[in-house]
Chains A and B, each alone.
Chain A
Amino acid sequence: MNGDPLPRRTFLANLVLGVASSLGLGALGARFFAFLSPPAPPEREVEFSAGPLAAIPDGGGAIVHLPSGHVALERTGDGVRAFSAVCTHLGCVIQWRPDPTAAWFCPCHRGRYDRAGRVVSGPPPRALAAIPAEVRGGEVFVRMKLHAREDLA
């Protein structure tokens, strides 16, 4: 290789080659990357039965695991409030552990929430997400988003 500048024809040929091959191989790479990213599954808002009201002690709480996710239920008399049982900090499932100041407890980093799902102490940044719930005929119903499962079974 000498130090002379490339003739214009060679430069153009190289440029065309460079652009074309980048496009071709780039498209191939893009397809490969798209393959690695599975499409988001469709969702539906669905009403699920969260079980009989009687299963939750009056003034108490319970965790229910539905196909659409983990639900925290809190009962006062004949009324029920539902929240997502997923801790807003890093995603662990909370527990019903009442004490003088709080109602829900997250074992991972000791986050605490009150009966209304608001953060009392610990690292969680937000209150528990509320879930629409109603009681019909002694049974608790919640409305949640269900998405098609990714698992194969």
Chain B
Amino acid sequence: MKGRLTRWLAERVPISMEELRRPLREELPVHLRTWLAWLGGTPLMLFGIQAATGILLTFYYSPTPHLAYESVRRISTTLRYGWLIRSLHQTAGQLMIVAVILHIIRVFVTRAYRAPRELTWVFGVALFLLTLGFGFTGYSLVYDSLSYWATTVGTNLVAHVPFVGPHVLWVLRGGADVNPNTLARFYNFHIGVLPTLMVLAVGAHLVFVRLHGVARLEGDARRETYDFFPDHVLREAAVALVVLLALVVHAMRSPPGLGEPADPNVTPSHIRPEWYFFPSYRWLKMVPMQVGIWTTTAFVLGMLFWPWLDAGLERLAPGRRLGTWLGSAAFLFTLVLLVWEAVT
């Protein structure tokens, strides 16, 4: 009986068990066992949590200005475990940004972006920008006072980009001011466009990681390996469970709240974007708008093409590690701006 079933399956799905088992038996180099290497998988785990909780939330969320706030309120109070799902979604979102930043720091410090891994880095920066995009669009959906005005101010910045700014803003908002089109658009970005781009970018990023292997720390010449299954899988599972546990406990201790409903006529006195936008928020308050726009663009481009920038600096002054100095300074500067904005 079992023989017949196996034969039936083998005829229709012509992959041998041997081929299927091969990825499980893959040997991974031991330098993957360090905690630094964990920082790569964590954003993906958190994205998984976001996708699952996000899909659940779409069963009840209503992306029209009239009903958005009330639907979020209903999720947070009336529905079974709505508070848990919403809290997981909010917190995992914030954690994902932190995890991505930590991963970027790890890759930067270990200089893993150098040839031949430049493209991995480029897709990585794209992933970082997409994550920020998720944060921004997601925050706009709550439609309470802070959310509405943070979105208004955030999108208004786009208008200041030279030449294309106003046109991009018109399309971004679907009209003149923040209107029903805007919410529908941001919702679509959040659940449609960005997830699609994210999946594609994650795919590309992982393909390149697999092709080149995870970079070793300089001087690490160990040749030992360990099993993907069950060893590595168990490690990943342990990390994922710790994250999940932390999220659930946090949800119970501080359930998600809701501010006042959005009032297009009244701007609250303390309007601020989410913490991950504090650095640019602070910067734009310090310098003229055009200077701010150009420097921010330069910063993003610098991040995107960092491997080549770093290589150029290395050629300029071999062994002086100018790239490391520059990158560290840029990061510290961003951190200072963030903390400054946070405490004032």
Asked if A and B touch directly (CB within 8 angstroms), the answer is yes
On A, residues with C-beta under 8 Å from B are 1, 21, 24, 28, 31-32, 34-39, 152-153
Query: Chain B: which residue is nearest A37 at the CB level?
Result: B80
A37 to B79 Cα, complex, angstroms: 8
Q: A1-B21, A152-B62 are in contact. Are A35 and B71 (CB under 8 A)?
A: no
Q: Are A35 and B56 in touch, CB under 8 angstroms?
A: yes
Task: Given A24-B241, A152-B62, decide whether A35 and B81 contact each other with a Cβ distance below 8 A.
Answer: yes
Which residues from A are CB-within-8-Å of B79?
Answer: 35, 38-39
Residue pair B52, A39 in contact (C-beta under 8 Å): no
Determine the chain B residues whose CB is within 8 A of the CB of A35 once the complex forms. Answer: 56, 59, 79-82, 84-85
| Residue B6 at the chain A interface, CB threshold 8 Å | no
A152/B67 in contact, CB under 8 A: yes
| With A1-B21, A24-B241, A153-B67: A34-B80 Cβ-Cβ less than 8 Å | yes
Nearest-Cβ distance from residue A10 to partner chain B, whole angstroms? 10
Q: Give A27's nearest chain B residue, CB to CB.
A: B248
Report B185-225 residues with CB < 8 Å from chain A CB: none
- Chain B interface, DSSP helix/strand/loop, else mixed: helix
Min CB distance, A68 to chain B, in Å? Answer: 21
Q: Are A32 and B70 in contact (CB under 8 A)?
A: no
The CA-CA distance from A76 to B71 in the complex, in Å, is 46
Q: How far is the CA of A23 from the CA of B56 in the complex (A)?
A: 21
In the bound complex, do residue A39 and residue B70 qualify as a contact, i.e. CB atoms below 8 Å apart?
Answer: no
Interchain CB contact under 8 A, B81 and A152: no
> B85 is contacted by which of A21, A32, A39 (Cβ under 8 Å)?
A32
Contacts of A24 in B (CB 8 A): 241
| Bound-state Cα–Cα, A37 to B78, Å | 11
**Alpha-carbon separation in the docked complex, A36 to B52 (Å):** 13
Q: 21 A-B residue contacts at CB 8 Å?
A: A1-B21, A21-B237, A31-B84, A32-B56, A32-B85, A34-B81, A35-B59, A35-B82, A35-B84, A36-B56, A37-B80, A38-B78, A38-B80, A39-B78, A39-B80, A152-B62, A152-B70, A152-B71, A152-B74, A153-B66, A153-B67
Q: Which residues of B contact A21 (CB under 8 A)?
A: 237
How many Å lie between the Cα of A28 and that of B81 in the bound state? 11
**Cα–Cα distance between A31 and B252 once the two chains are bound (Å):** 14
Of all A-B residue pairs in the complex, the 7 with the closest CB atoms, nearest first, are A152-B70, A34-B80, A35-B81, A152-B67, A31-B81, A35-B85, A34-B81
Chain B residue with minimal CB distance to A21?
B237
Name the interface residues of B268-295: CB closer than 8 Å to any CB of A.
Answer: none
Given contacts A32-B52, A35-B82, 4 further A-B contacts (CB under 8 A): A21-B237, A34-B80, A38-B79, A153-B70
- Nearest to A30 among chain B residues (CB) is B81
Binding site of A, secondary structure by majority: helix, strand, loop or mixed? helix
Q: How far is the CA of A21 from the CA of B80 in the complex (A)?
A: 23
Q: Which residue of chain A is the closest to B248 with respect to CB atoms?
A: A28
A32 closest partner in B (C-beta): B56
Tell me the complex Cα distance, A114–B13, Å.
62
Question: Considering only CB atoms, which chain B residue lies closest to A35 in the complex?
Answer: B81
Nearest chain A residue, comparing its CB with the CB of B82: A35
Tell me the bound Cα distance from A32 to B84 in angstroms.
9
Q: Which residues of B contact A32 (CB under 8 A)?
A: 52, 56, 81, 85
Chain B 28-68 per-residue mask, 1 if CB under 8 angstroms from chain A, else 0: 00000000000000000000000010001001101000110
A residues near B70, Cβ cutoff 8 Å: 152-153
- Rounded to whole angstroms, the CA-CA distance of A24 and B52 in the bound complex is 16
| Chain A residues within an 8 Å CB radius of B21 | 1
Q: State the Cβ distance, B79 to closest chain A Cβ, in Å.
A: 6
Per-residue A-contact encoding for B231-252, CB less than 8 Å = 1, 0 else:
0000001000100100000000
Q: How far is the CA of A37 from the CA of B85 in the complex (A)?
A: 13
Residues in chain B near residue A31, CB distance under 8 A: 81, 84
A35 to B296 CA separation, bound complex (whole angstroms): 42
Most chain B beta carbons < 10 A, residue from A21, A31, A37:
A31
Contacts of B62 in A (CB 8 A): 152
Assembly CA distance A11 to B59 (angstroms): 41
Please indicate the chain B residues that have their CB under 8 angstroms from the CB of A34 in the complex: 80-81
